[in-house]
Structures are given as C-alpha cells and as structure tokens.
Structure 1
Amino acid sequence: MSAADDVSLLTRQQVEERCAISRSQIYKRMELGEFPRPVYVGAAARWRSDEVAEWIGSLPRRGN
C-alpha cells in the first residue's frame, strides 16, 4: 500500500473541524496562498486529506 492509498477527500465542514478554522478563514487563506486549494468532484469542492494534514503539520508550535 502506498501513501496515496491513505488519501481521502474531505468536505469543507470536515476541513473546518480538523483545522479549527471557519469557512471564511479557509477561503481567505486560500486566496493568500496559505491553505491548500480544493479539487472538484463534479461541482463539489473537496480537499485532499494529505494536503490538509501537511498544512496542520506546518503550523508553528507555541513555546512555554
């Protein structure tokens, strides 16, 4: 099984929940080039789970 086999497509609501950001923040960050853009399945926007996970992993950690 390759890494690509672990990729799923997430709805906007799932992305909001995983990233703890609002719909407006998702689209604002996409416009700034700071968040992954969706792929489209028909007319439905979906985000690749691997790209969302990579974005989460890139967030800075707060020091103590």
Structure 2
Amino acid sequence: MMTMHQLIAKLSVSKTSIYEWIKTSGFPAPYKFGSASRWKESEVNDWIEARRNAA
C-alpha cells in the first residue's frame, strides 16, 4: 500500500493532480484506513500501463 508521498515521488506530480486524475482519468481511488489514504501499488501500476498502451 502506497502513501500519498510515495505516489507523488513515483509519478512526479502534485497531490492536486492525483485527486484530479481520480475524478477524470480513472486513477484508482484510495483505500481509507481511518483518516489515512493508501493506494494499492498494483492498481497504480496497472493504470500507468493502461495509459502507456493508450498512447
């Protein structure tokens, strides 16, 4: 499970961009653990691969 900081580092984008992608580009929504948000790395990698294949 990835944190927001790990996503920002992996994708080289802002937190705002990630939440915009969730709304508009099918980026995986986070899993909530209390107030913490976490993303499955496999889902993020699948999204990245799908974007590469679509280009």
Q: Shorter-chain-normalised TM-score: which range?
A: 0.7 to 0.9
Query: What is the root-mean-square deviation in Å for CA atoms of aligned residues?
Result: 1.5
Q: Which has the larger share of helix?
A: 2
Aligned runs of 1:1-64 on 2, under 5 Å? 9-60=1-52
Give SS of 1:10's match. Answer: coil
Q: Is the 8 A contact 1:19 1:56 kept in 2?
A: no
Q: Is the 8 A contact 1:30 1:36 kept in 2?
A: yes
Distance 1:44 1:58 in 2: 27
* Aligned-pair identity (%): 30
Structure 1 unaligned regions, length at least 5: 1-8
Structure 2 unaligned regions, length at least 5: none
Q: TM-score, normalised by structure 1?
A: 0.71
Q: TM-score, normalised by structure 2?
A: 0.81
Give SS of 1:60's match. Answer: helix
Q: Which has the larger share of strand?
A: 1
